[in-house]
Amino acid sequence: MSSGDIKVAERILMGELKELQKENWVTAEPRNGNLFIWDVALVVVNPTSMYHGAYLKGELKMPRTYPMSPPEFRFLRPILHPNIYKDGKLCISILHPPGEDELSGEKASERWSPAQRIFTVLISILSLLDDAETSSPANVDAGVMLRNNPDLYKLKVKDCVEQSKQDIPEGFVMPTAEVKPPAKVVEDDDFWHDSDEYSEYGSGEDDEDMEFDTDDDQDDSNDSEDSKN
């Protein structure tokens, strides 16, 4: 992969990060200035959700090939849910590589595509919390409990919600507005071939207020100094 491809990925991620930081139901920050690893927290503000009031910390990793390849996500604190593994990773179609999977029966439209966004991923994760798939659970014990003893399941989930509140930062005000789902993403095969589309992520002055050091930038600086000498 060329340094140019990585810079494109960084520009896209910077734009997505700036948009996410306007939302009240999620916090997102690059870890140590690295745009490819984010520390995030999802706030469940939907009052009808079983997980209402939870502050769910997670880790989001983007490949250098983003957005051609999907990100990875895991919760940092254990959460009881049929589709969440005990290590915090999720079994959710949108995080699976592009294309149909005959083995699982997943359609290409259900899986990751370059037209998807981090915003869509996080909204999908919130939706998954109250739309569990128990037929092939990642956490078998949680799936069995939800089917056979839903009242006990709700009590266990309530415990998870209360434990998650220990991670709320001092001074953070929990939002109360209900999350609205994003507009349906329309895929366009020519999306990544039109350079004008990159203006959506800020290609000039808008990026000046959010700068990140990269190895490529350091190399360019060294080359410049050598040419002066």
Query: What is the three-class DSSP state of 17?
Result: helix
Residue 160 is among the residues annotated as catalytic for this protein: no
The catalytically annotated residue of 91, 122, 138, 145 is 91
pLDDT of 218 higher than 70? no
Residue 73 class from Cβ within 10 Å (0-12 exposed, 13-18 middle, 19+ buried)?
buried
Rounded CA separation 40/59 (Å): 6
Cβ contacts of 188-197, under 8 Å, gap ≥ 24:
188/115, 191/114, 191/115, 192/114
Confidence of residue 223 (pLDDT cuts 50, 70, 90): low
pLDDT in tens, 151-160: 999 999 999 9
> Average pLDDT, stretch 10-29?
96
Tell which CATH classification among 3.90.700.10, 3.40.50.720, 3.30.230.10, 3.10.110.10 matches the domain 3-228: 3.10.110.10
Of the two residues 107 and 15, the one the predictor is more confident about is 15
How is residue 121 written in tokens? 């991923």
> Average pLDDT, stretch 174-190?
55
Residues ≥6 apart with Cβ < 8 Å to 216: 3, 6, 7
Q: What residues does 73 pair with on adjacent strands?
A: 60
> Average pLDDT, stretch 119-125?
96
How is residue 61 written in tokens? 């990793």
> Average pLDDT, stretch 99-121?
83
